[in-house]
Amino acid sequence: MKKFILMVISLLILCSNDFFTQTFFNEPLAHTFSIVARDANTGEIGAAVQSHWFSVGTIVIWGEAGVGVVATQSFVNASFGPRGLELLKKGYTPQQAVDSLIASDEGRDFRQLAILDVKGRVAAFTGKKCIQPAGDIVGNGYSVQANLMSNDKVWPAMSKAFENTKGPLAERMIAALEAAQKAGGDIRGKQSAALLVFKGTSSGKPWEDKLIDLRVDDNPEPIKELKRLLKVHRAYEHMNAGDLAVEKNDMDKAMEEYSAAMKMFPENLEMKYWTAVSLANNGQLEKALPMFKEIFTKDKNWKELTPRLIPNGLLTVTKDQLKEILKQ
């Protein structure tokens, strides 16, 4: 009985400890690997992450155009995201911001944090009680960090992949995630991943300044799915450029952009449809008709949509040409 009473008292003391309660019950355990980085050529800034945790992108990576990006992980203190960005806005360097956040946090030993600003300056912290293997590498314009990994080769593999991969920032960060997984990755496995990219200079228009915002919240192969989504995103960049060209009545440009998108995803009916519309608008109806036939055969709703494009000038064909299209 005495032992039971002592055990109850010990539990009450333990559960009344604010730090323990905050650290282990209120905060997500996003043990993971991530990267924050800047593209020296474009000035773009971004972050990418993978974890065996649901919807990791909602809590680990944060960013703002013209300010910087943050990765907060391990026993996540999610406030480090917005607070880190706010400190950068106040003129703190990434190192000063990291130092300030860590110093104010009783759970610092369990935290892992990386902050990068628009100048490419970066700082990282790995608490001594992060579950091993854990560590970080601060490089030229980037930082990689990981904890609860299969081995201590994971974050060095990320660093090497990022430095040796050519191309846009987003693709280079995906390469870093792939390298981490190939090296062993999270010891628990795979579940979610996310990718953010912002302009380095803010235009004051957040809807234009956030260039990429992709998340895979629950998937057996989250990095592969994230990579697929990035390819879809690139194709729709062409689609958006095509729409803009249509607004400006530049049908040659529209056809060029829609065709580029279609080549990336030839099975996508919408991309094929707008390519066919652009061909018809550019006097190349004979090339467009087989495409319309394929699209209408697979989904009759596109056929129903087609006449609705005439009144607003999105499809500029004669009545006879429209009839010919609808025969397909």
pLDDT at 23: 43
Looking at domain 27-220, its CATH superfamily turns out to be: Aminohydrolase, N-terminal nucleophile (Ntn) domain (3.60.20.10)
> Hey, what amino acid is at 87?
L
Weakly modelled stretches of the chain, pLDDT under 50? 1-25
Q: What is the pLDDT of residues 97-147, one digit of tens each?
A: 999 999 999 999 999 999 999 999 999 999 999 999 999 999 999 999 999
pLDDT of residue 26: 52
State the pLDDT at residue 111.
Answer: 96
pLDDT of residue 233: 94
Q: What is the DSSP string of 209-253?
A: HEEEEEEE-S-SSHHHHHHHHHHHHHHHHHHHHHHHHHHTT-HHH
pLDDT mean across residues, the chain: 90
Is 76:60 a contact under the CB 8 Å cutoff?
yes
- Are the folds of 27-220 and 236-326 the same? no
Tell me what pLDDT residue 18 has. 39
Ordered by start, the domain boundaries in the chain are: 27-220, 236-326
Q: pTM here?
A: 0.85
- N- to C-terminal Cα separation, the chain: 86
pLDDT at 2: 43
- The pLDDT value recorded for residue 251 is 78
CB atoms within 10 A of CB 318: 10
pLDDT of residue 30: 59
Ramachandran bin of 68, using left for φ above 0, alpha for ψ from -120 to 50, beta for the remaining angles: left
What's the topology of domain 236-326?
1.25.40
